[in-house]
Amino acid sequence: MLTHIRPVAAVTGALVLAASLTACGGSSAASDEKVVTVYSADGLKGEAGDGWYDKVFADFEKRTGIKVKYVEGGSGEMVQRALREKSNTQADVLVTLPPFIQQAGSKGLLQAYAPQGSDRVDGADKAADGTWTSIVNNYFGFIHNKKELPEAPKSWEELLDARYKDRLQYSTPGVAGDGTAVLIKAMHDFGGQAPAMEYLKKLQANNVGPSSSTSKLAPKVDKGELLVANGDVQMNFAQSKSMPNLGIWFPAKGDGKPTTFALPYAAGLVNKAPHGENGRKLLDFLLSEGAQREVSAVGGGFPAREDVKPTDANAVALAGLLEGVEVFEPDWADIDENLTAYVDAWKSATGS
């Protein structure tokens, strides 16, 4: 199911600061309103109003006079909400993680639009049909409580130890993007669906239970209610600024190398968006060089544009986290096609 290994590029180089907006045509009268509605997976908005979204949305509103209405939830939850509203569309821009952005495209929720700057985004990080483009690159990971568990576990197998009973939790596959990522990584590391489900069945003895949103797990880890949880590098790195006990790590299979895979925040213009012109303007702004430079400095993530190579302290620290970690590329087409079957297998294995 999972294919070739792709190395992580070093986060170095210089940046030329520039930002541009282009007015694009809209067809509905609603597009004249000074508002744009964003449905997004959680992680890019700060707990204290200091996240990347907080900064770029404020800058966008100041630049254009267009107010951003923001709705947040789990990746699958946001797609399902947009799907329920398909006959009466409310959102203009949808931001979610793989494989849910592919799912949104296959269900006809997105329309083709290539934002300014999308030509600088790697082909693997955008849809071939132009329906979505990554705006923040990111990687799947786990977190641990550095105070109670100073040394992070090294392997999946360690998590089966009795010390983790009721002190371990991961978000729900099929609902949360990072929860679905647990399945994807387990199937890669264990070599297929059957051995992955066999492992996750054993892990269930230590698992606290379901969680629809991954971001809710970090505070529990920081407080010591949990020793270990799943997450992603961008979100957890940003959270660690106010949650000092969070440590980021990547499980390995046995004594092998730790692995991860890219889990970008991908954005698309919603089909029949009520404020489509404003949605296009926002997508252009999110991929502008100025906004992309702040992905690491403000948001703790990785720029989606390959020509934006920040050298701020966060960028250096983020690159360091991935040193020695093998990055694989999932077969997203397979996952999109078989996601329901994989989630059903997980439910059967774990009794969830």
| Both structure tokens of 335 | 């996952």
* Residues 3-13: b if buried by 16+ CB within 10 A, e if exposed: eeeeebeebee
The residue-averaged pLDDT of 102-123 equals 96
- 296: tokens are 């690491």
| Closest listed residue to residue 302, CA positions, set 331, 322, 282 | 322
Question: Cα–Cα distance between 324 and 331 in angstroms, integer?
Answer: 22
- Three-state SS string across the chain, please? CEEEECCCCCCCCCCCCCCCCCCCCCCCHHHHCCEEEEEEECCCCCCCCCCHHHHHHHHHHHHHCCEEEEEEECHHHHHHHHHHCCCCCCCCEEEECCCHHHHHHHCCCEECCCCCCHHHECHHHECCCCCCEEEEECEEEEEEECCCCCCCCCECHHHHCHHHCCCEECCCCCCCHHHHHHHHHHHHHHCCHHHHHHHHHHHCCCECCCCCCHHHHHHHHHHCCCCEEEEEHHHHHHHCCCCCCEEEECCECCCCCCEEEECCEEEEEECCCCCHHHHHHHHHHHCCHHHHHHHHHCCCCEECECCCCCCCHHHHHHHHHCCCCEEEEECHHHHHHHHHHHHHHHHHHHCC
pLDDT by residue (tens digit) across 122-175?
Answer: 999 999 999 999 999 999 999 999 999 999 999 999 999 999 999 999 999 998
**Mean pLDDT, the chain, whole residue set:** 91
CA separation for the pair 50, 348 (Å, rounded): 40
pLDDT for 8 beyond 60? no
| Cα–Cα distance, 343 to 175 (Å, whole number) | 10
How far, in whole angstroms, is CA 76 from its chain's centroid?
12
Residue with tokens 């606290």, as numbered in its chain: 208
φ/ψ of residue 66, rounded to 5? -95, 125
Residue 87 has pLDDT above 80, yes or no: yes
Looking at residue 319, what is its pLDDT?
95
Give the predicted TM-score (pTM) of the model. 0.84
Locus of tokens 């990584």:
185
Dump pLDDT digits (tens) for 321-336: 999 999 999 999 899 8
CB 108 within 8 A of CB 270: no
pLDDT number for residue 68:
98
Q: Which residue has the tokens 């550095």?
A: 146
C-beta of residue 180 within 8 angstroms of C-beta of residue 262: no
Whether 67 has a pLDDT exceeding 50, the answer reads: yes
- Cβ(188)–Cβ(206) under 8 Å? no
Q: How far is CA 204 from CA 48, 88, 350, in A?
A: 33, 40, 6
Using CA atoms, how far apart are residues 295 and 264, in angstroms rounded to an integer?
12
pLDDT at 199 over 90: yes
Is residue 290 within 8 Å of 85, Cβ to Cβ? no
pLDDT 10s digits, 275-310 = 999 999 999 999 999 999 999 999 999 999 999 999
